[in-house]
Structure 1
Amino acid sequence: MSRFLCTAIALVCKYITKGWKGVEEACSEGEKSEDVQKVFVYLEALEKAKHCTDEQELINLIEEHRLETEQLPTTFLKSKQVWKALLKEIPLPVLLKRLGKLTADKVLLPGSPDVSSVCERILDDTALKQVKSNPFSILAASEHYKRGHGKLGKLKWDPDADIVQALDSSFCKSISAVEGTGKRFLLAVDVSSSLGTVTHGSSISTVAVAAGMCMIFAQTEPTAQIVVFSEGSLVPCAISANMTLMEAAEVLIQAPVPGTDCALPITWASENEKTVDVFIIFTNNRCTGTENPADALKMYRQKSGVFSKLIVCGLASKHLCVADPEDCGMLDICGFDSQSLDVIRNFALNIF
């Protein structure tokens, strides 16, 4: 660790434990290097912001020192001008979470330069790569913003069309950052009931999750096969990497047919001699088929000679008992969130 870094950390710790007076005392002895002086000036700006009572002065501090919301007095977080200053450097994950509030508070007005700036940030390739944006995180932010209200319904806003379009495009862009596994996947979406319910662990619809995951695998896994199924019926699904999320969702929304047979995708692959490394099943329901999916997978393994894996995603489930707990090649996922994609990928690659 460099001498500068040690000194910088010591100054920050001094500010945390002893306040600004402690930093002044620590820097009063001897000359400060140029790098240490920068740390000193930044901490001084934090101290000024903490006690600031003038809006314009605070805006100047934000713009000069790239201060963030957590470093400002809460009384100024109601100011539109302060938020306009914050928008220039606000981290992308924070921006995505606050889009609804900023629209509701009229900070982002239709056709304004601020909306154009926000759309540029959302679509910026460098920003997406720097924060390693998970496609599901952007999908969740997009679906939340489109809904036009918060979880409790108290905060409401009219979604801006330009921001909605930017979020959809950003989701498609973020997929390109996902590394393929080289595995042969079969994604099966259960359409035996409505996909309009809310995903457990998230605030977005199950159809959006299923459509988004199909788009991700269609683009990142060249050999991936996608099907939809219900009781006694399974058909290939024409979802491609070139589709928008809405187009993919429309393909999945079909007339519900009673009954869920989660073994059907596995038996279909066996009967049609499809080679599959990983089966991923998306469903809202309990399995009601006559054949156990775990048993069907074991039979498929014996016939194909491939140690295939099974992942069952109960999108609206709090409890799920499909996988054989003694089998390391089977996994149940209850609900779905931003970490689920990584879990699926790591499970497919035996990374645990």
Structure 2
Amino acid sequence: MSAPEQELKRLLHFGREIPFYQPGDRVKNEVYHSCVSNTIENLLAGEKIADIANCIVKAYSDGYSAHPSMLVYALAVCAKQNTNPQLREAAYKALKTVCSSSENLFLFIKFAKKLSQNDSIWGSGFKKVCKEWYLKKDVKTLAEIAGKYKKCNGWLHKDIIKLIHLKPDTPGRAAIIKYLLFGIKAAKKEFGENSEAHEILNYLQTVEDLKHLTDEQLAARSVEIHHFTIDHVPPHLLKSKEVWGALSGNLPLPVLLKNLERIGTLGFLKPNSVLVNKIIDAIKDENAIAESHLHPAHVFVALQNYEMSFKFVVEPKKVAKLPTIPNPKIICALHELFASTCKLFLPPTGLRYSVAIDLKSLKTTDKCYRCTQVTSAEASIIIAFCLLHADREVSVSVANVEEELLPLELTKNMTISNGIEKLKQSRMQRMKICTPVEWASKQKKEYDVFVVVTDTNHKGISNAITVLQNYRKEMNIPNAKLILVMLKCHFEPSWIKEIKDPGVFVIGGFDGNVPRLIEAFSRGAF
């Protein structure tokens, strides 16, 4: 893998061209412009044209990216560069896959507009792709999209339709376009008598009616009958217990988990609430779990978000009352979901791992950077558990006073609490980054990946890289890798840009993406 190609894959997976991941919205913070453009220019110079678009599509299809919006931005850079028409054509072809949703299409247009500056983005190639986006979608699917999103990322469907001069090919599609351009009344006036458009217009009328409903019971009934999702429901109805009860069966599991904290703080998940049973049924639904492809780390972060949110609910100027606590049944269901996702969604890599944990404190007040609901101890155990569930040859260890590694006896059947208890009993001591590699070398132990999880912000890694390179030669494992996870690192270390070894990866902080990035780097995805 060439250096520019690896830089591109890093960008697509975690939003940086250097081997350092830190949680946070890189697109929102606009810290991606020059690095993406420079990387793609370097690849073009090396004539890796086809690989660029293919890499973007593969990263999207694999679903491993910690910053999916970065894929859209990279695609926009490819489409708007003027160096190579072949790459531009490949980008428009890839757009059909990467921007199949209206959110991503609008995001692509937003990026393309920004990259074009004063130039028009509406060339014949882009117009053609946008026309196909509207014309090749199933009519019912397009109606659902029209009902969900009229505006996203600063763009309206109406804007795009006017700019591309879209000509619908069926009465049903024509009715949807009329609705997007002029509203439901105009659509019904023109297509109300057309039998092909009748069902579509009824659906769109129901969407419009929902927006203006104030009766919570009627709104909940409409959501239940028409299988509306959260994107269809206006904000004023998202404060209704009845509406959330109707939504709970329609929401994909990741969306439900994302909104669990919100539902809880509204006070809808108190004991004996009917909504509690509906939420639990949704969390335990085997089909929903299978379709979700949720990573266990995301489940645990959602669990902690829900559990910890009650500690920060403040109601000023109100009479003192008993504090609200998280519903224990919901907590139990989330723990079961965590166990299920560990069994279902952690594919084996076939690699041998050495996981070394180095924490100076196991206090509940020691939180991870960018994920303050999760402690350093919890994050360490999560990382270890994900690897233990995925692969057979995983050793987890801590250091003693002599900096010798001692095994930490963790098993797949343990809970996170059990794992933390094992950490407390281990009486672990501090270690250097290179300690696990040195220990493996002395003991003639063969490992493909060394993972060091610590709450220390180290001042350098050069010595550890030298030890790793010697280990590769001694043990004849040329692709052995080192991953350093600094759970409390809130800045980009100055020594990161000095790392030239492609087998070294550093993580600062923690979020639900970290274990998946460890797995992806280990198997050579970037």
TM-score, normalization by structure 1: 0.88
Q: Distance in 1 between matches of 2:238 and 2:231?
A: 10
Query: 2:303 aligns to what SS in structure 1?
Result: helix
Following TM superposition, by how much is the alpha carbon of 1:195 offset from its aligned partner in structure 2, in angstroms?
5.9
Contact in 1 for aligned 2:481/2:503 (Cα 8 Å): yes
Q: Which residue of 2 aligns with 1:64?
A: 225
Q: Distance in 1 between matches of 2:473 and 2:363?
A: 34
Higher mean alpha-carbon deviation, 132-141 vs 51-60, is at 51-60
Q: Which residue of 1 aligns with 2:467?
A: 296
The one-letter amino acid paired with 1:198 is K
Pair 3,185 (structure 1): closer, same or farther in 2 beyond 3 Å: closer
The one-letter amino acid paired with 2:382 is G
Equivalent in 293, 313, 318 of residue 132 of structure 1: 293
Query: 1:164 aligns to what SS in structure 2?
Result: helix
Q: Distance in 2 between matches of 1:124 and 1:26?
A: 43
Higher helix proportion, which one? 2
Higher mean alpha-carbon deviation, 81-90 vs 55-64, is at 81-90
Pair 64,290 (structure 1): closer, same or farther in 2 beyond 3 Å: closer
The one-letter amino acid paired with 2:209 is K
Gaps of 5+ in 2: 1-135, 143-168, 316-322
| Percent of matched pairs sharing the same residue | 27
Contact in 2 for aligned 1:294/1:322 (Cα 8 Å): no
The one-letter amino acid paired with 1:57 is L
Q: Which residue of 2 aligns with 1:174?
A: 341
Describe how 1:268-307 pairs up with structure 2 within 5 A.
268-287=439-458, 292-307=463-478
Question: Would you say 1:85 and 2:246 are equivalent positions?
Answer: yes
Residues 72-127 of structure 1, C-alpha deviations (whole Å, 9 max, x = no match):
23222222222222223233223223323323433222244432232222122221
The one-letter amino acid paired with 1:77 is L
Equivalent in 261, 264, 268 of residue 435 of structure 2: 264
Give me the CA root mean square deviation. Answer: 2.8
Question: Would you say 1:335 and 2:509 are equivalent positions?
Answer: yes
Q: Distance in 1 between matches of 2:471 and 2:176?
A: 59
Query: 2:505 aligns to what SS in structure 1?
Result: strand
Describe how 1:123-272 pairs up with structure 2 within 5 A.
123-149=284-310, 154=314, 157-176=324-343, 177-194=345-362, 196=364, 197-203=366-372, 204-229=374-399, 232-253=403-424, 259-272=430-443
Question: Would you say 1:23 and 2:187 are equivalent positions?
Answer: yes
The one-letter amino acid paired with 2:522 is A
Query: 1:149 aligns to what SS in structure 2?
Result: helix
Following TM superposition, by how much is the alpha carbon of 1:2 offset from its aligned partner in structure 2, in angstroms?
6.9
Contact in 2 for aligned 1:263/1:291 (Cα 8 Å): no
Q: Which residue of 1 aligns with 2:268?
A: 107
Q: Distance in 1 between matches of 2:455 and 2:176?
A: 50
Contact in 2 for aligned 1:188/1:265 (Cα 8 Å): yes
Following TM superposition, by how much is the alpha carbon of 1:256 offset from its aligned partner in structure 2, in angstroms?
6.9
Query: 2:452 aligns to what SS in structure 1?
Result: strand
Query: 1:89 aligns to what SS in structure 2?
Result: coil
Higher mean alpha-carbon deviation, 291-300 vs 21-30, is at 21-30
TM-score, normalization by structure 2: 0.60
Pair 26,269 (structure 1): closer, same or farther in 2 beyond 3 Å: farther
Question: Would you say 1:118 and 2:279 are equivalent positions?
Answer: yes
Q: Distance in 2 between matches of 1:9 and 1:337?
A: 42
Q: Distance in 2 between matches of 1:192 and 1:254?
A: 14
Contact in 2 for aligned 1:186/1:279 (Cα 8 Å): yes
Following TM superposition, by how much is the alpha carbon of 1:69 offset from its aligned partner in structure 2, in angstroms?
3.0
